[in-house]
């Protein structure tokens, strides 16, 4: 067994092997992934923030009452 080293982005769980290592296609390998901790943590912490969103169609109405009415329609 021998080792090679390269850097690559992981996209949707897939690591692309660089063309210079094409001979490795369809072979078995032991993979060790080293990730920058700061980058990995930042990716996990990304969330959605809707606090700045304004929904004009419900303006002037009680949000809780609108939700209850919508649930009753189901």
pTM: 0.46
pLDDT tens-digit profile of 5-41?
999 988 888 989 899 998 888 899 999 988 887 765 5
pLDDT tens-digit profile of 59-74?
888 888 888 888 876 6
Would you say 18 and 6 are in contact if contact means Cβ atoms under 8 Å apart? yes
Q: Which residue has the higher pLDDT, 20 or 45?
A: 20
- Alpha-carbon separation of residue 71 from 35, 62, 63, 67 (angstroms): 44, 15, 12, 6
d(CA 21, CA 2): 13
Q: How high is the pLDDT of residue 30?
A: 92
Q: How high is the pLDDT of residue 66?
A: 84
């Amino acid at each position: 067994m021998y080792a090679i080293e390269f850097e690559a982005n992981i996209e949707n769980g897939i690591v692309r092997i660089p063309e210079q290592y094409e001979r490795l296609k369809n072979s078995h390998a032991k993979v060790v992934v080293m990730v920058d901790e700061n980058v990995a943590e930042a990716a996990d912490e990304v969330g959605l923030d809707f606090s700045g969103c304004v929904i004009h169609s419900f303006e002037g109405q009680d949000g809780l009452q609108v939700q209850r009415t919508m649930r009753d329609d189901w």
